Amino acid sequence: MTGSKPTRRIAEHTELATKVVILTTFERDEYVFEALRSGASGFLLKNTPADELVNAVRVVAQGDALLSPSVTRRLIEQFTQTPAKPRAAAELAGLTDPERKMLRLLSAGRSDADLAAELQVSETMVKIQVTQLLTKLRLHDRVQAVVLAYESGLVTPGA
């Protein structure tokens, strides 16, 4: 199986709270997108130094997401050239204004501490709100939320 099939199977079992980091030699955009849509929380290349790989596993285990820097750059370039998808915009139709604000802040790469300061709530409350937002949107993690925010046009590069 390729990485996306087992990732999708793992992600379907939400009761496990298992996170997936894809480690690959392939850096093709379509492979990255498929891995993220399948539920991967991280995507790294096999030439990633060992200490960065260990850190990536820790970051993902804590509920955050991590992408190889070259992958991040290309994702941003791809989003700047891709118009919003109507289906993705429709998925955000049921969000409240505070939920939209949270999604925008997440898409800016804000940490829980930054979000707490911006929203004037505790970090614990931020984690609860992020979890509720992900559940409402039927997403597995913050990476998928950011992808949806860009695909829907809610967030645009440089904004």
Determine the pLDDT at residue 68: 81
Ordered structural domains, the chain, with CATH = 4-80 (3.40.50.2300), 84-152 (1.10.10.10)
Lookup: tokens for 1:
């199986």
How do residues 73-110 score in pLDDT, each as one tens digit?
777 676 666 666 666 677 888 899 999 999 999 888 88
Burial of residue 67, with CB atoms counted within 10 A of its CB: 0-12 exposed, 13-18 middle, 19 or more buried: buried
Instruction: State the Cα–Cα distance between residues 135 and 28, nearest whole angstrom.
Output: 29
pLDDT tens, position by position, 1-11: 566 788 878 77
The structure's pTM equals 0.56
